[in-house]
Structure 1
Amino acid sequence: MRLLLLGGTEFVGRAVAEDAVARGWDVTVFHRGRHPAPAGASALLGDRLAPGGLAALDEGEWDAVVDTWSAAPTAVRDAARLLAPRAGRYAYVSSRSVYAAPIAVGSNEDGPVVDGSPDAAGTDYAADKRGGELAALDAFGDRALLVRAGLILGPYENIGRLPWWLGRIARGGPVLAPGPRDQPIQYIDVRDLAAWTLDAVQRELAGPYDLVGPSGHATMGGLLEACVQATGSDAELRWTDPGTILAAGVQPWVELPVWLPPGEDHDAMQRSDVSKALGTGLRPRPVEDTVADTWAWLQDIGGTAPQRPDRPVVGLDPEREAAVLNARA
């Protein structure tokens, strides 16, 4: 397989590139040159937002394209139109954020989606992802695969969610653990996303697929306990009622990454039906493996995870954490 990756040097793109290289595929990554290309991949340089920035893609043929773009849909539109005559399939890594609220428990790919346009310059994450989907569909039709990812964790994470928990728990001491302990979480290991996506383009799957593990594959307790185990920390997880945390003004998801209190937001994010992806080969690995491998990667790079400049820094300030723990006591 000849694979073109639009991106391919960070997080999802890098995981896809490394998996494809390991399969023996001929891999080309198109990127801006800010990070080194993965070992074994060829590189083409360009900035898809700049005038003439796609010039490096004017020639060449590929069996499949994987696009991880997450901003202005016009970038997907222009690349997809350029490549449609010379590429077999186009996999666009989208997001479950494209579904319109309220999202019902057990929702799947048939749920209503937000409005979006392939001609939008980029204003809103959900609308931008939907616009990117429409751009891929406009250019490739039934050769387009829409990978609607949920929460993504694992090595190379540049959002900071799992790296923050690992770093906090590695410091040890009492840790504010947001309850309920047995509350299900729904996420996808980036390597499982990469493997499924490459299998899917090889099998010529098309249309939308929600790419996230089944609800209950892991729990908040399982995730944080795996962090304690991986780091070898003496951390004491102090499970705290959601009401206490919310009363203190702590922001779910942002200050306490991954966690959402019971309710509508949790159900929308953490209780979707992913039987379509499971039926086509998605095999989520145990949460312990995701956590341990992310910790090993962090140690390899000196303990500090990269941070995407277009995403907010996540995590709870130590003084705020201490105040909530004291109130809890």
Structure 2
Amino acid sequence: MLGGTEFVGRAATEEALARGWEVTVFHRGHHEPPDGATALHGDRTTEDGLKALAHGEWDAVIDTWSAAPSVVRDAARLLKGRVGQYVYISSRSVHPFPTPAGADEDAPVVEGSMDDGDVPYAEAKRGGELAALDAFGSSALLVRAGLILGPYENIGRLPWWLTRIARGGRVLAPGPRDLGIQYIDGRDLAIWTLNAIEQKLNGPYNLMSPPGHTTMGGLLTACARTTGSDAEFLWASPEAILEAGIEPWTQLPIWLPPGDTYDTLQQGNVDKALGTGLRCRPIEETVEDTWTWLQSIGGHAPQRPDRPTVGLSPETEAAFLEVVQH
């Protein structure tokens, strides 16, 4: 595991250990890896930062890197010939905007280069894919994940909704209530990825739930039930929310209004992954387990330093609800 101590990497490490696999975690040492993993330390962004990986052989490597593609390139080249399979956790963001609803893995992708440094997210992920393919050819597995939720989340999307709804009172609920949400629980991503390694799958796979696996109404209801909240949901139309200048995805995490962005990010085709055994747990289980984890760490989710804080301020929410009530 390149990483292996946070969110998706941690979920994959824990799942591999639960299967009895021997797991080596290469990380910077900022967080303790799960018990049972062998730890190697290094900073991939520094000169000689990969020195701890200069020797050794592994059946597979999982790389979750999401920044400079050149970092993936350097790791893949170093491990070439000593690793059976390179698995790169990519993103559906490699498809350009807009991408029509129903697009599968053969849809066009953005331009990218494995030699890039600091580039936008979509280009960085595509560059990472190219780096894996350059070193490992057709045997590389590209896991194009959609929105990822679940325990250990360090972006803050589901933790924000849980915390907000637990606080109770009138809650701005972005509609339509039956708007479908497409996402993947990080643990389901981990399970499928390890199964894919066993099956020796390769090439790109879209990895998220089928469209409409749950809805905004289903998500918020699950949050209220799990937290025992008496929150009163006030459903607002996309038009009213956008007219008020409230930003989808960032100020109202997870939610995207119907349109091109929604079709691009929330309506992808996952038939290929479903055909190879992808199973997605109910949203109620993801919500409940995330809340349990959040409470176990004091109620404050970790925040990745390279990602903006998400969520709507109480003042902005109150001002909007005051207007829509009159």
Structure 2 length as normaliser, TM-score? Answer: 0.99
Q: Distance in 1 between matches of 2:14 and 2:194?
A: 11
Work out which of the residue numbers 228, 232, 241 in structure 2 matches 1:236: 232
Q: Does 1:130 align with 2:126?
A: yes
Q: Match for 1:19: what amino acid?
A: E
Greater shift, 236-245 or 27-36, is seen at 236-245
In structure 2, the partner of 1:181 is 177
Task: Give the CA RMSD over aligned residues.
Answer: 0.6
In structure 2, the partner of 1:43 is 39
Work out which of the residue numbers 278, 285, 295 in structure 1 matches 2:291: 295
The number of equivalent residue pairs is: 325
Q: Distance in 2 between matches of 1:51 and 1:127?
A: 23
- Runs of 4 or more, structure 1, over 2 Å off, are none
Q: Match for 2:52: what amino acid?
A: A
After the TM superposition, which residues 1-329 of structure 1 pair with which residues of structure 2 at under 5 Å, given as runs? 5-329=1-325
Q: Distance in 2 between matches of 1:265 and 1:123?
A: 21
Give the secondary-structure state (helix, strand or coil) at the position aligned to 1:6.
coil
Q: Distance in 2 between matches of 1:88 and 1:126?
A: 27
Q: Match for 1:31: what amino acid?
A: H
Structure 1: gaps (5+ residues) = none
Contact kept? 2:157, 2:310, Cα under 8 Å: yes
Give 1:132 deviation, angstroms: 0.3
Deviation per residue, 1:285-305 (Å, 9 max, x gap): 000000000000000000000
Give 1:34 deviation, angstroms: 0.5
Q: Distance in 2 between matches of 1:63 and 1:255?
A: 42
Structure 2: gaps (5+ residues) = none
Q: Distance in 2 between matches of 1:170 and 1:83?
A: 46
Q: Distance in 2 between matches of 1:188 and 1:295?
A: 17
Q: Distance in 2 between matches of 1:102 and 1:260?
A: 14
Give 1:263 deviation, angstroms: 1.1
**Percent of counterpart pairs with the same letter?**
68
Give 1:269 deviation, angstroms: 1.1
